[in-house]
Amino acid sequence: MAAEKILPGDVKASPNEASRPISADTSRRVLRLVGVFRLLVGMSLLAVAAIYQDPPLLGSRFPTLFLSVAAAYSMMAGLILYALSRASVTLSRLVPLQVAGDILAVVTLMYAGTGVNGGIGALLVVFVGAASLRLKGREAFFAAAIAALAILAQQLLSYTQGATAAEEFIAAGVLGAIIFVIASAAHPLARRIEESEALAQQRGIDLANLAQLNDYIIQNLRESIVVVDESNRIRLINQSAAEHLGAPNRDPGQELAQVSPQLYNILLVWRENKGKGRSSPPAFVAADGSMQINTYIAPLGQQEQGPVLLFLEDAGRIAEQVQQSKLAALGRLSASIAHEIRNPVGAMSHAGQLLEESPSIGEQEKRFLDIIRNNSRRISDIIESVLQLSRREVTNPQSLQLRTWTQEFVQEFSSTLELFEGQIMISFAEDVKVRMDPGQLHQVVWNLCDNAVKYASEAAGGIAVELRYGRISSNRRPYLEIIDRGPGIAESFRYQVFEPFATGRSGGTGLGLFISRELCECNGAALVFEPNPEGGSIFRIVFADPARWADRRPG
């Protein structure tokens, strides 16, 4: 990625290099600029000579000669500009002809005008100096000598004709000396120009390489990054963020509201609160529905209303890292729980059963015994769940046809819970085949459906649970959704539903959803939550990508 061009300033120039002309590209640009100046000068002189028949400063001696030379010089300037625009023209041949034409034309104009006092001779300083940038050292001094001698020659001719005074020889000599000085200074100036251009080119290459490197790093980061300007337009988005948001392309200038309305609303709330309030904005579901996304907002400046940098992070990945540490602690604790808690709880439960058989207990004692029995059962359930987490049975994934599997599951679930026909429905867009451990899939879906029925029973409405399956349109991954029309999950609790021991219902262990997601992840699937727009909840199981296991299926 690094540039390979060596700067001239990095190496000390040798005497031969000091006399070497500047590069063709640099000299062509300089000569093109001088060519434009030459054309403007020629056209101006021609216009003055044509309008004023006897101008006081230009053509006072030979107006006709002055007009003819000005016209010829303008034509020459146009031809030189045309030649410089063609890449096939060799500058080493063009520049000597160009400086010779300049000397001849300017000296003739001086002779036709008022001589050295007219000021036209000063043009040779520009033209000889520009030519010296391209000519070699001896050639540049030779051109300066020719120009100085030509100026003195026209002064001598004018003096012999009585047109000028002897004092003007001093001005002619000074002008020739100035031309020599400019020719001498042209080479250091040429070196500086070339070094400056080489340095600018090097810096341009470095900046281009750095921009490519930055773009490569940003596009290949695992983290998803979006840069939004003050008008809420996307200025930069990497591939990972585009996949999460479902952006059709990564072109800058897209409206964030059109790409992701959910992320746009999160940003608007953050701007309205001036970056204060909640430390972390609420999570939202990715465009493909396969995961929940956490958003972290960092302003690119001092103002919250200006450009911002958005970090999008898979909530499941962070939760998994946190839960791994929790699982490690639970695993170490589970063995002692089995011996230290289960046995006393069993003894308490057995003692309660014996007390129930006593004929002397009253109604109040029976109520206390019910409390003991219910809480003992709850503690036993917690112990079983914790032990199940510590065991983490090895998965045995199999290929399952969801149409057949869901029909069998609904029939079993409805008969077990004695539900009426139609309370558990199945809908699908297309039949799909998934790969997952049948027992663990049964446990996950049973737990989700059981929660849906229990919450719906506690609400005023009737029980209505829907199992819907198909494929996600963006990535064709199969999914299975458990949709209910119950009271839903409170917004303050939505981001904790998969946390261990977090429960929104009295009497629950808070481990059902946690275990369900763990079982899904063991099979390469994902379990995400999304509020139902019609009321209730949607739990979506996004199965492993079929393209990743199709070739590994047993033959």
Q: Do residues 87 and 173 both lie within one domain?
A: yes
In angstroms, rounded to a whole number, what is the distance separating the alpha carbons of residues 246 and 242? Answer: 6
CB of 214 closer than 8 Å to CB of 186: no
Q: Do residues 236 and 202 both lie within one domain?
A: no
Q: Tell me which of 314, 340, 362 is where a domain ends.
A: 314
Q: Do residues 308 and 377 both lie within one domain?
A: no
The token duo for 212 is: 């490519």
Q: Structural domain of residue 32, as residue ranges?
A: 8-210
In angstroms, rounded to a whole number, what is the distance separating the alpha carbons of residues 135 and 100? Answer: 13
Predicted local distance difference test score (pLDDT) of residue 4: 39
On whether residue 219 sits in a domain, the answer given is no
In angstroms, rounded to a whole number, what is the distance separating the alpha carbons of residues 132 and 12? Answer: 22
Q: Do residues 377 and 289 both lie within one domain?
A: no
State the DSSP code for 292. E
Q: How many CA atoms lie within 13 A of 288 on its CB side?
A: 26
Phi, psi of 139 (to 5 degrees): -65, -40
CA R_g for the chain: 45
- Please tell me the total count of domains within the chain: 4
On whether residue 215 sits in a domain, the answer given is no
Q: Tell me which of 210, 245, 264 is where a domain ends.
A: 210
Q: Do residues 361 and 489 both lie within one domain?
A: no
Q: Do residues 165 and 16 both lie within one domain?
A: yes
| Residue 550 CB-density burial (10 A; 0-12 exposed, 13-18 middle, 19+ buried) | exposed
What does the CA dihedral 65, 69, 70, 73 come to, rounded to 10 degrees?
Answer: 180
Q: Do residues 332 and 462 both lie within one domain?
A: no
Predicted local distance difference test score (pLDDT) of residue 270: 86
On whether residue 1 sits in a domain, the answer given is no
Beta-bridge mates of residue 540: 481, 528
Q: Tell me which of 359, 391, 423 is where a domain ends.
A: 391
Low pLDDT (below 70) residues in the chain: 1-27, 52-60, 87-91, 137, 187, 190, 222, 275-280, 290, 316-340, 342, 378, 381-394, 457-462, 501-510, 546-555
In angstroms, rounded to a whole number, what is the distance separating the alpha carbons of residues 199 and 201? Answer: 5
Predicted local distance difference test score (pLDDT) of residue 8: 41
Q: Do residues 238 and 196 both lie within one domain?
A: no
On whether residue 325 sits in a domain, the answer given is yes
Predicted local distance difference test score (pLDDT) of residue 356: 75
Predicted local distance difference test score (pLDDT) of residue 553: 43
Q: Do residues 286 and 365 both lie within one domain?
A: no
On whether residue 507 sits in a domain, the answer given is yes
**For 320-370, what is each residue's pLDDT tens digit?**
666 566 666 666 666 566 556 767 777 777 777 777 777 777 777 777 777
Q: Do residues 292 and 179 both lie within one domain?
A: no
Q: Which helix (H) or strand (E) holds 548?
A: helix 546-549
Q: Do residues 142 and 174 both lie within one domain?
A: yes
In angstroms, rounded to a whole number, what is the distance separating the alpha carbons of residues 238 and 252? Answer: 11
Is residue 123 helix, strand or coil?
Answer: helix
Q: Do residues 175 and 77 both lie within one domain?
A: yes
Report yes or no on whether pTM surpasses 0.75.
Answer: no
